[in-house]
Amino acid sequence: ATELKVPAEHIEQFRKWQFPNDAVTQCYLKCVFEKFGLFDAETGFNVEHIHQQLQGAEVAPPGDADHDDVVHDKIAACVDTNEQGSNACEWAYRGGVCFIKENLQLVKHSVKPQA
């Protein structure tokens, strides 16, 4: 958030899982996804990495996510190849908002600090 100079009011929205469709939010989500290895501006989303992040290492060891489960299908449904030709921030936002909407409880659990 500091790198992108995200305004405080946006940070408050993000903490409430609210992501307005604007350039600041789009680029913030892109930055977060890139830092976690979930998104690349050239190739898009990595479904395998997203699935592992959502499931957690205790459920599936790295590289061992179950491709037949419902979560995998929901993630794959949110991924596109950017047929629209959007910039990377818009592309990351589109997929990210879809993941969050479809899997909010899993997303919240995956980012919760571990005890």
37-62: pLDDT as tens digits = 999 999 999 999 988 887 774 454 54
Rounded mean pLDDT of 3-25?
A: 93
Q: Which CATH code is given to the segment(s) 8-111?
A: 1.10.238.20
Q: Where are the domains of the chain?
A: 8-111
pTM of the model: 0.82
Does 115 score more than 80 pLDDT?
no
42 or 69, higher pLDDT: 42
Contacts 24+ apart (CB under 8 A), 96-101: 96/19, 96/29, 96/33, 96/39, 97/19, 97/21, 97/29, 99/50, 99/74, 99/75, 100/17, 100/19
Mean of per-residue pLDDT scores for the chain:
85
